[in-house]
Amino acid sequence: MNGILPLWKPKGMTSHDCVIQIRKIFKTKKVGHTGTLDPEVEGVLPMCIGEATKIVPYLTETEKGYIAQVKLGQATDTEDRHGTVVEEKSVAELPSEKRIENVLQSFRGTIKQVPPMYSAVKINGKKLYEYARAGEEVKRPVREATIHDLKRLPLKANEGTDRFSMEIICSKGTYIRTLCVDIGKRLGYPAHMSDLVRTKSASFTKENTVTFAIIEEAAKHNHQDQLLIPMIKGLDHLDILYVDEETKRKVHHGQKISKPKKIIKTDPFVVMHDQQLLAIYQIHPQKPEQMKPVRVFHG
């Protein structure tokens, strides 16, 4: 069984918990997820099974979509609602629509972020959350992220005085918790992320995901493989080079191929023969007139 399972991760499970569960259901060890989601966050988490585990890095690199809720008036040590409150300021009323829009506008494009102390970023071989749990502060590296789109959503029933929701399309590695905190600061308040849902990962959205209930029901009839999506769907952000039968044989053996006349817009790129996914190739770093394989698929 080779393909992508577009899972809707439930709250209460870690991404690794999901991997373990899928391994049992699909009876294979070759399972990988495509971008960690915190246990309390639900949303789109494509799972790669069999040969598809080879494309995990390429799916992880893609843009993501989220709906996040910003809570004004309280900052926490974890930057979300599960942490300890470390700063407070009363919020008499929500800032005006225009004020919020102006602030959101200032975060669109390339931004700089300092990773939260409660994150898995490694400093000197130790994860930041390990320092945080030990009560140690360390200097954190400033990182760049890209916010492709950021817009405020209409108020929900539980919002209005001290919180609002926003939809975000961003690059890999964006800390949404930190984004909420920084937006709050610019609005003049301590803040944290009070809720988060991942709505998009690469080209996968909520509409084409499956829940564990659906997967387990399919497994009862041994039809779980029918839920898998072809690997190429996880690579549709890469350009495709179609090759002939002779080149296909070279690709199968992991050989270098000549640079094609066709302009390749992405590096790496996908190599296909008819509708068969053969490999992922890239321009040879020392020989730009040649292409070398980085992943070759079998079966």
User: Does residue 272 sit in helix, strand or coil?
Assistant: strand
The candidate with the shortest Cα–Cα distance to 171, out of 109, 237, 78, is 109
Write out pLDDT tens, residues 210-260. 999 999 999 999 999 999 999 999 998 999 999 999 999 999 999 999 888
Superfamily of domain 3-62+203-234 in the CATH hierarchy: Pseudouridine synthase (3.30.2350.10)
What is the average per-residue pLDDT within 270-292?
92
Q: Position 295: which residue type?
A: R
Could you tell me the two tokens for 131?
């320092």
Instruction: Judge whether 3-62+203-234 and 65-196 match in fold.
Output: yes
The pLDDT-based confidence of 115 (bands split at 50, 70, 90) is confident
**Average pLDDT of the chain to the nearest whole number:** 92
The pLDDT-based confidence of 118 (bands split at 50, 70, 90) is confident
Q: What span, in angstroms and rounded, lies between the C-alpha atoms of 37 and 197?
A: 9
Angle between helices 15-26 and 212-220 (to 10 degrees): 10
CA angle 272, 236, 281 (to 5 degrees): 45
Could you tell me the two tokens for 59?
């799916």
- Percent of all residues in the chain with a pLDDT value above 70, rounded to a whole number: 100
Could you tell me the two tokens for 126?
């130790």
Could you tell me the two tokens for 180?
């909420």
Write out pLDDT tens, residues 76-109. 999 999 999 999 999 999 999 999 999 999 999 9
The reported pLDDT for the residue numbered 126 is 86
Write the CA distances from 102 to 67, 106, 144, 167, 184, integer angstroms: 19, 6, 21, 15, 13
Active site residues: 38
Domain residue limits, the chain: 3-62+203-234, 65-196, 238-296
CB 32 within 8 A of CB 16: no
Could you tell me the two tokens for 36?
């960690």
- Percent of all residues in the chain with a pLDDT value above 90, rounded to a whole number: 76
DSSP secondary structure letter of residue 254: T
The region that residue 12 occupies, defined by phi over 0 for left and psi between -120 and 50 for alpha, beta otherwise, is left
Identify the weakest region by mean pLDDT among 52-56, 200-204, 295-299. Answer: 295-299
Cis link prior to 268 (omega < 30° from 0)? yes
Domain covering 238-296 assigned CATH 3.40.50.720 in the classification: no
The reported pLDDT for the residue numbered 10 is 96
DSSP secondary structure letter of residue 161: S
The reported pLDDT for the residue numbered 299 is 66
CB 190 within 8 A of CB 88: yes
The reported pLDDT for the residue numbered 292 is 93
Query: Which of 3.40.47.10, 3.30.2350.10, 3.90.550.10, 3.20.20.70 is the CATH number of 65-196?
Result: 3.30.2350.10
